Chain A
Amino acid sequence: MSELIPPFDWQQHVIAPWTEGFGANIWIVLMGFFVATACGLVGNYLMMRRMALVGDAISHSVLPGIAIAFLLSHSRGTVPMFIGALVAGMITTILIEVIHKKSRVKQDAAIGIAFTTLFAIGVILISLYASQVDLDQECVLYGEIAFVPFGEPVQLTDAFSAPVPVFRMGIVAVITLIFVVLFYKQLLVSSFDAGLATSLGINATFVHYALMCWLSITVVSAFESVGAILVIAMLILPGATAFLLSHRLPVIHALTVLMAALSSLLGLHLATWLDCSMAGAMVVMASVLFVLAWIFSPLDGLLVRWVRQRKLHLEPPEEIIVVPK
């Protein structure tokens, strides 16, 4: 056990990452934060539409798109990867619709069939063309966020440069934020009431497909460095935590961003301590935050519920006791 879990050392695991490894760690935390923010904001709308698992499906099924884009373009360029992911995302969405609408298979089973098939194709392509694709199977799942800082840098100004993946992810996160602010009303209305949206002149189908497209873009820009698991988790976990803490959408969005920052920061420390997968550790911290919110949420947390129930048992309100004469 002791060789598995090293003793916790404040100096080494909390202070040192910021004194010694600052140059690398800041990029890792920023990358995790950007991924979690972009995914979390998109994920909030998926959850409101009860499509959380469609997000899960798409984050798996962009894999063949990426693999084919690699094979055709022989590069890790942004544009071919985005195109591959968009096509794969659309194919998933359409496959799910077709299976669900044209046969009597229910939607949940249709999701399960569509994404596993595409993911299987992706994994096979990767293992067949491993030398060309430059991705390995494990990397697909939990990525290599630790290598992010050593990627090719983009020279932003004379004195400041950022690694390409972080730069790209940052742009995606900022654009996501802008979309969420600009199209707040459209997204909100079409998520809750497609009928009302249509009567207000909002094309709900278009919003749906636009959301799916943007989801594919977000997933693919995160995929290469952090893997599928962090993407899936970040689509749901920060948002779900925020949902437990507030009922107002703007607050939920803000909390989502906060949770994104916290889980990526704490994840880095956890991974430094346990020396395990960084993406995995970030998700573990996001899960811990969720469990904390679940227990301690002032709105509807387990503790509040328990206290409420206990009050009900201990002191029955007198005025409603009817004494028979």
Chain B
Amino acid sequence: MSRHHPPSTINCLRYVLIALGLLWFGLDGHAAKIGEMSDTTVLEQAGRFFTFQDPAVRYALLGSMLLGICCGVMGSFIVVRKLALVGDALSHAVLPGVALGFLWNTSKDPVAIFIGATIAGLIGTAAVGAIKHTTKLKEDAALGLVLAAFFSVGICMVTMIQRLPTGNKSGVDKFLFGQAAALGANDVKLMAIITVVTLLVIGLFYKQFLVTSFDAGFARVTGVPVQVMHYTLMLMLAFAVVIALQAVGVVLVSAMLITPAAAAYLLTDRLHRMLILAAIFGMASGAAGAFMSFLGPSLPTGPFMVLGGSAVFGAAFLFAPQHGVIMRWWRRRSRSLRVQRENTLKSIYHVLEARDFKPEGVTAKELAEKRRETLEDILGQLRELRRHDLATLQDDEQTVFLTPDGWQRACAIVRNHRLWELYLTNAAQVAADHVHEDAEKIEHVLGEDVVRQLEKRLNYATHDPHGKLIPGEADMLRGSAPSERITDAVGYGKRT
């Protein structure tokens, strides 16, 4: 079903990568060092950011965008697999690895830190699995355990490193909350390589990842090595966490995994679109975080990136066309208003029916008695009908006449109601005095094609179980009072 999608995913991401590449190589210039920025104003800082003159700015921006892409893509997988908090545990578990990698030659060597952190992350993930399988502790406890245990070991090591003569200037504490400005050329190169590798692996095995994420059983049957796929995913997740560490910080990496992906999840139902959207959102929040933290001397990057992501998520949560809160609220509201209009129309029909459809208007007072509601409520409902051109009001808004449209809707609702009652008594053997409640609900949702099928199934019956006439198509169109039609239908409770 999605055979042609992987290329389109790759295509789109390729353009993004080319754009990033241009940003990296195309601009060249020498400008003031980042250390001098504390005595400039916010506006000057912003100006300097957008001219991209400063290499530190370019590295910070590029790095933040790359990590946004990588985290967004990998985060999508853990969000759809309901593993969101595995990302949290994993990101805390890498800290001892970072410290060990730093100790390797007591300097901030990106490769050593990368390897150490990846190994620690994978051990952490494996420990979660082991605790889950060999004790009766549940997954959430296992995740929390591993998170706290590994992180505390990491904290102890970091505080020990800071005690070393070289340690205090090492910037190893920057790993806690992230400082994009600390990114160097080597860091960004490593990030670019990892991002490209991640995207390639995802692109090549897109179908396998898709199937394993949504239906592991089916994947196994079709010969996909589910376990291998799972561990590959975990490895790449660890990669994403580790390259994000320096800019976002250990504590908040999980947000870069979860939040952009969750926002994308609200906007689409297809995984490939979700991956692209999450990558874009991640990139945007990364860039926003790098920009914001550049404005002040000691502002950490990570929290700003996280807030950027949260803002995107908040917007998606409120305004998403399908799953957004506002659209859902609007849909529910318009549905309940429609149901109320239809109920008013139905009551008008009942009143008309009770006096054999004499061509007179129905008064609001009659309706109020029929519906057992106050006169003000009824008047409000009638005005609502007039607003939708279903009725006209006369005599100082006291008498209501249905328009042809209103008459058709009223007939349709009554028909739906009575057909359903008849169907329940005839086909489902429900007692005639139990069918009304159910029909009250279903009358508003029956579509034309279902009505046609019901009519056919009930042999075009003319009477409902209570002996009332079911309005037919001709009555609706002519605007005439429903009359006996010649049919051989037999319904329960038919009078003749």
Q: Which residues of B contact A233 (CB under 8 A)?
A: 148-149, 151-152
Q: Which residues of B contact A277 (CB under 8 A)?
A: 155-156, 158-159
| Interface size in chain A (residues, C-beta < 8 A) | 64
Residues of B347-396 contacting chain A, CB below 8 A? none
Q: Is A87 interfacial (CB-CB < 8 Å)? A: no
- How far apart are the CA atoms of A123 and B178 in the complex, in Å? 11
Main secondary structure of the interface of B (DSSP, over half): helix
Q: Which residues of B contact A284 (CB under 8 A)?
A: 149, 152-153, 156
Q: Are B136 and A300 in contact (CB under 8 A)?
A: yes
Q: Which residues of A contact B313 (CB under 8 A)?
A: 113
Q: Are A120 and B304 in contact (CB under 8 A)?
A: yes
Q: Is B116 interfacial (CB-CB < 8 Å)? A: no
Q: Which residues of B contact A5 (CB under 8 A)?
A: 160
**Residue in contact with B323 in the complex, picked from A53, A103, A274, CB distance below 8 Å:** A103
Q: Is A175 interfacial (CB-CB < 8 Å)? A: no
- How far apart are the CA atoms of A243 and B258 in the complex, in Å? 30
- How far apart are the CA atoms of A117 and B259 in the complex, in Å? 9
Q: Classify chain B's interface size.
A: 35 or more
Q: Which residues of B contact A232 (CB under 8 A)?
A: 144, 147-148
- For residue A1, which residue of chain B has the nearest CB? B103
Q: Which residues of A contact B79 (CB under 8 A)?
A: 105-106, 109
Q: Mark A254-293, 1 if CB is under 8 A from B, else 0.
A: 0000000000000000010011110111111011001000
Q: Are A137 and B300 in contact (CB under 8 A)?
A: yes
Q: Which residues of A contact B202 (CB under 8 A)?
A: none
Q: Is A313 interfacial (CB-CB < 8 Å)? A: no
Specify which of A112, A120, A280 lies most central, judged by the most chain B CB atoms within 10 Å of its CB. A120
Q: Is A141 interfacial (CB-CB < 8 Å)? A: yes
Residues of B305-347 contacting chain A, CB below 8 A? 306-307, 310, 313, 317, 323-325, 328
**Residue in contact with B265 in the complex, picked from A104, A240, A286, A300, CB distance below 8 Å:** A104
Among listed A10-18, A44-52, A165-173, A210-218, interface-contacting one? A44-52
Q: Which residues of A contact B103 (CB under 8 A)?
A: 4
- How far apart are the CA atoms of A103 and B318 in the complex, in Å? 9
Q: Which residues of A contact B265 (CB under 8 A)?
A: 104-105, 109
Q: Which residues of B contact A249 (CB under 8 A)?
A: none
Q: Is B85 interfacial (CB-CB < 8 Å)? A: yes
Q: Is B299 interfacial (CB-CB < 8 Å)? A: yes
Q: How far is the CB of B278 from chain A (nearest CB, A)?
A: 12
Q: Are B160 and A274 in contact (CB under 8 A)?
A: yes
Given contacts A113-B259, A120-B310, contact A280 B135 (CB under 8 A): no
The 8 closest A-B pairs by CB, nearest first: A283-B152, A116-B255, A233-B148, A287-B149, A120-B303, A280-B155, A112-B258, A120-B306
Contact residues of B with A, CB < 8 Å? 79, 82-85, 87-88, 103, 131, 134-138, 140-141, 143-145, 147-149, 151-153, 155-161, 163-164, 173, 176-177, 251-252, 254-255, 257-259, 261-262, 265-266, 296, 298-300, 302-304, 306-307, 310, 313, 317, 323-325, 328
Q: List 15 A-B contacts (CB under 8 A).
A: A47-B140, A53-B85, A56-B144, A102-B328, A104-B265, A111-B85, A117-B259, A117-B307, A120-B306, A124-B300, A124-B304, A271-B156, A286-B149, A287-B145, A290-B145
Please give 11 more A-B residue pairs, beta carbons under 8 A apart, in addition to A104-B265, A119-B251, A236-B141: A51-B140, A53-B85, A103-B317, A104-B323, A109-B265, A138-B173, A141-B251, A142-B155, A233-B151, A280-B152, A287-B153
Contact residues of A with B, CB < 8 Å? 3-5, 47, 50-53, 55-56, 60, 99, 102-106, 108-109, 111-113, 116-117, 119-121, 123-124, 127-128, 130, 137-138, 141-142, 229-230, 232-233, 235-237, 240, 243-244, 271, 274-277, 279-284, 286-287, 290, 294, 300, 302, 305
